[in-house]
Amino acid sequence: MLAYAFKRFIGALPTLFVLIALAFFMIRAAPGGPFDAERALPAEIEANLRAAYHLDEPLVQQFGRYLADLVRGDFGPSFQYKDYTVTELIMTGFPVSLRLGGLAMALAVVVGVAVGSLAALRQNSWIDHAVMSVSMTGISIPNFVMAPILILVFAILLGWLPAGGLGDGSPQNLVLPVISLALPQIAYISRLTRGSMIEVLRSNFVRTARAKGLSERTVIVRHALKPALLPVISYLGPTTAALVTGSVVIEQIFGVPGLGRYFVQGALNRDYTLVMGVIVFYGVLIVVFNLLVDLMYALLDPRVKY
Amino acid sequence: MSTAAETITGAPAEKGRSLWIDAGLRLKRNRAAVTAAVILAFMTVLVVVGPWFSPYEYDFTDWDRILIPPDIASGHLFGTDGIGRDIFVRTLFGGRISLVVGLVATIVSLVIGIAYGATAGYLGGRVDHIMMRIVDILYAMPFMFFVILLMVLFGRNIVLIFVAIGAINWLDMARIVRGQTLSLKRKEFVEAAEALGVRPFRIIRRHIVPNLLGVVVVYVTLTIPQVILVESFLSFLGLGVQEPMTSWGALVNEGAQEMESAPWTLVFPAVFLATTLFCFNFIGDGLRDALDPKDR
């Protein structure tokens, strides 16, 4: 198992390298620089600044320097937020994003699996049709459309929940952002669970379990649920990616001070190191999470040999 | 044209039901998919010809009627936005952009995906291994970030949107096409072509690709809404099409800022966007069921 995990991790290294290289050279190829301001700096000051940040070196050398720093866990200083390192900025933004994304993920999995299983157990009943129609609606309404509508209804018309910001950090501030982030994922996961559950319920081992006279509850919970969850587990990788990108918009709409906002702002300001930092950080996060999902899959599915 | 059977027996040959006729019949029985197709067709016509019948241009400012609610008398069917522009016309114009982006970017991803997947699958062996390894690597990238980066760094032009979105969507297509190709290349008609000495790329073009169409059609109907979604996402962040041109995402963004005082600025574009995505998803689902040999 450990050897397999190690092998998979080594396999993920090229992905990370391509990710970092792509981001690095794309940013550098873009017109404009971090020291473009409304008032042009005197040439010699700008030259000094560029030298201080090693921006005067050949690009490949800069890339090597960046990689070397990265291996030591150093994302470099931010160009825009003076006196802050990128690591410090990420560490202020990430806990907020993590709380948002983690809650949304938990909500999506729990509700999605429950609703999907329910629909599968009552296949072709009105419950099934209702669940499927609602989830299709959930897939079709993007989260950036859902979010303003939720704000309109629950914050402005009904006044039950705050419309944005984190306030004093109390839970009700997170309700609307988490729900808007989770809804499309709930829709996907419930459809996925329904499909695989229906297939599993038709399989021979479930028939055997029923033939043995086990109660319906035991058949479902002990025998059917685990194999039915496998597609959901392999979907967790894409879910993470979707939640991460979705949070960029959701954080913007609700004014939540997370990592997503740094990304868009950083790109607009040509804050090379900050943008790189966020991309690399999220890239590593997604790659590692995909790795964990694969390992979990291998653990749960007895047919998978590693 | 008379067939061989006809000339021998003198009776008309039994007409076989092809995969497509079969699928068409099954699709017609799926009421949800048919309804979705009708609504979508209606919306497309509305979006294309609607602006010609509107009394207002998409960038015309009606100074006397700023931020008014829907009003038949003045011709502002969906009301006006914060600078007096007609929301009805703007929604239709935004729809043109969104649909065109959806189509063109899907075609881009289709062409890349089919070419790549069919080549990898047909050539097989080490070439296949390396090509699919590249897809695996790219698959793990947070592409949305790169698209955002591209739009921010290289200015916001519509060609770039096509290329960027098309370039990230071909990965799924390539994987699906490769899988299909692997099973197709063991078929007798491919073997026959090989035995006749037809060269690999001609086999791919003439024998493999046409047989992929079933899978591809389903995938296309599911890709178009995804692409429209990505474009609206970018426009929502202010990175898509530029003012005074607009798209559904941009309109939703503007509407979200005015929604407290003028909910109609949000509701109409949002409904159009959601309905379109809804229809495409339903048609895709219906097509998948119709073409799925397992359910036969």
Averaged pLDDT, B4-9? 48
In chain A, positions 98-157, which contact chain B (CB-CB < 8 Å)? 136-137, 139-142, 144-145, 147-149, 151-152, 156
The nearest CA of chain B is from the CA of A245 a distance in Å of 7
**Residue A75: phi, psi to the nearest 5?**
-85, -5
The token duo for A297 is: 């899959």
The pLDDT tens digits of the residues spanning A182-191 come to 888 898 899 8
- pLDDT on residue B2: 44
8-state DSSP, B295:
G
The pLDDT tens digits of the residues spanning A34-88 come to 666 656 677 777 777 777 777 777 878 888 888 888 888 777 777 777 778 888 8
Q: Which of the four pLDDT bands, split at 50, 70 and 90, describes residue B244?
A: confident
Residues A162 and A244 in one domain: yes
HEC profile of B52-88: HHCCCCCCCCCCCCCCCCCECCCCECCCECCCCCEHH
The nearest CA of chain A is from the CA of B152 a distance in Å of 6
Say whether pLDDT at A111 is over 90: yes
Q: Which of the four pLDDT bands, split at 50, 70 and 90, describes residue A205?
A: confident
Residues A44 and A113 in one domain: no
Grouping H, G, I as helix, E, B as strand and the rest as coil, residue B157 is coil
Q: Could you tell me if A284 and A47 are in contact, meaning their C-beta atoms sit under 8 angstroms apart?
A: no
Other CB atoms within 10 Å distance of the CB of residue A210: 15
CB contact under 8 A, A23 and B149: yes
Between CA B167 and CA B147 the distance in angstroms is 10
Q: Which of the four pLDDT bands, split at 50, 70 and 90, describes residue A110?
A: very high
- Quick one: which of B229, B251, B250 has its CA closest to B239? B250
- pLDDT on residue B14: 56
Q: Could you tell me if B35 and B60 are in contact, meaning their C-beta atoms sit under 8 angstroms apart?
A: no
Mean pLDDT for chain B overall: 79
CB contact under 8 A, A142 and B229: yes
Between CA A305 and CA A295 the distance in angstroms is 11
Of A207-221, B22-36, B142-156, B189-203, least confident by mean pLDDT is B142-156
The token duo for A244 is: 């991460």
Which structural domain, as residue segments, surrounds residue A112?
Answer: 86-267+275-300
CB contact under 8 A, A26 and B144: no
Of A140-144, A269-273, B97-101, B174-178, least confident by mean pLDDT is A269-273
The total number of structural domains that make up chain A: 2
DSSP per residue over B243-292, as a string?
A: TTS--HHHHHHHHHHHTTT-THHHHHHHHHHHHHHHHHHHHHHHHHHHH-
- pLDDT on residue A304: 65
Q: Which residue has the higher pLDDT, A264 or A85?
A: A85
Residues A58 and A187 in one domain: no
Residues A213 and A240 in one domain: yes
Residues A148 and A18 in one domain: no
Q: Which residue has the higher pLDDT, B267 or B291?
A: B267
- pLDDT on residue B5: 45
Q: Which of the four pLDDT bands, split at 50, 70 and 90, describes residue B3?
A: very low
| Cβ-based contacts of A14 with chain B (< 8 Å) | 137
CATH code 1.10.3720.10 for B19-50+88-295? yes
Report the residue from A31, A140, A286 with minimal CB separation from B142: A286
The nearest CA of chain B is from the CA of A84 a distance in Å of 22
CB contact under 8 A, A267 and B152: yes
Q: Which residue has the higher pLDDT, A85 or B292?
A: A85
The pTM assigned to this predicted structure is 0.78
Report the residue from B136, B153, B273 with minimal CB separation from A145: B273
Say whether pLDDT at A250 is over 80: yes
CB contact under 8 A, A139 and B149: no
Of B31-45, B72-86, B187-201, least confident by mean pLDDT is B72-86
Pairs of CB atoms within 8 A across A/B: 117
Residues A61 and A159 in one domain: no
Residues 6+ positions from A250 with CB-CB distance below 8 Å: A100, A143, A144, A147, A177, A180, A181, A256, A260
- pLDDT on residue A107: 92
Q: Which of the four pLDDT bands, split at 50, 70 and 90, describes residue B16?
A: low
CA of B51: how far to CAs of A44, B90, B132, in Å? 55, 9, 46
Residues A156 and A52 in one domain: no
Between CA B80 and CA B65 the distance in angstroms is 7
The pLDDT tens digits of the residues spanning B74-99 come to 767 777 776 778 778 888 888 888 88
CA of B289: how far to CAs of B175, B218, B284, B285, B292, in Å? 20, 9, 9, 6, 5
> Is residue A81 a part of any domain in this protein?
no
- What whole-number percentage of chain A has pLDDT above 70? 93
Residues A258 and A235 in one domain: yes
The CATH number that applies at residue A129 is: 1.10.3720.10
* Domain finish residue from A18, A38, A71: A71
Say whether pLDDT at B116 is over 50: yes
Say whether pLDDT at B294 is over 70: no
Q: Could you tell me if B264 and B272 are in contact, meaning their C-beta atoms sit under 8 angstroms apart?
A: no
Say whether pLDDT at B9 is over 60: no
Residues A32 and A117 in one domain: no
- pLDDT on residue B228: 85
Of A88-92, A113-117, A163-167, A174-178, least confident by mean pLDDT is A163-167
Say whether pLDDT at B115 is over 80: yes
Q: Of B133, B236, B276, B295, which to mutate for an interface test with A (greatest number of A Cβ within 10 Å)?
A: B236
Between CA A259 and CA A173 the distance in angstroms is 17
CB contact under 8 A, B274 and A137: yes
- pLDDT on residue A168: 63
Averaged pLDDT, B230-255? 80
In chain A, alpha helices (H): 2-29, 43-52, 59-71, 86-121, 126-140, 143-150, 172-201, 204-211, 216-218, 225-254, 259-268, 272-300
Highest mean pLDDT: which range of A162-171, A205-214, B138-147: A205-214
Mean pLDDT for chain A overall: 81
Residues A67 and A164 in one domain: no
Residues A51 and A95 in one domain: no
- pLDDT on residue B67: 66
CA of A271: how far to CAs of A76, B85, B146, in Å? 11, 36, 15
Does the beta carbon of A18 lie under 8 angstroms from any beta carbon of chain B?
yes
Among all chains, which residue has been given the structure tokens 């097989």? Answer: B124
Look at chain B and count its residues: 296
Say whether pLDDT at B109 is over 60: yes
Q: Could you tell me if A192 and A228 are in contact, meaning their C-beta atoms sit under 8 angstroms apart?
A: no
The nearest CA of chain B is from the CA of A213 a distance in Å of 30
Residues A97 and A176 in one domain: yes
- pLDDT on residue B257: 79
> Is residue A305 a part of any domain in this protein?
no
Domain ranges of chain B: 19-50+88-295
> Is residue A175 a part of any domain in this protein?
yes
| The amino acid at A140 | S
The pLDDT tens digits of the residues spanning B51-69 come to 777 777 777 776 777 666 7
- pLDDT on residue B147: 78
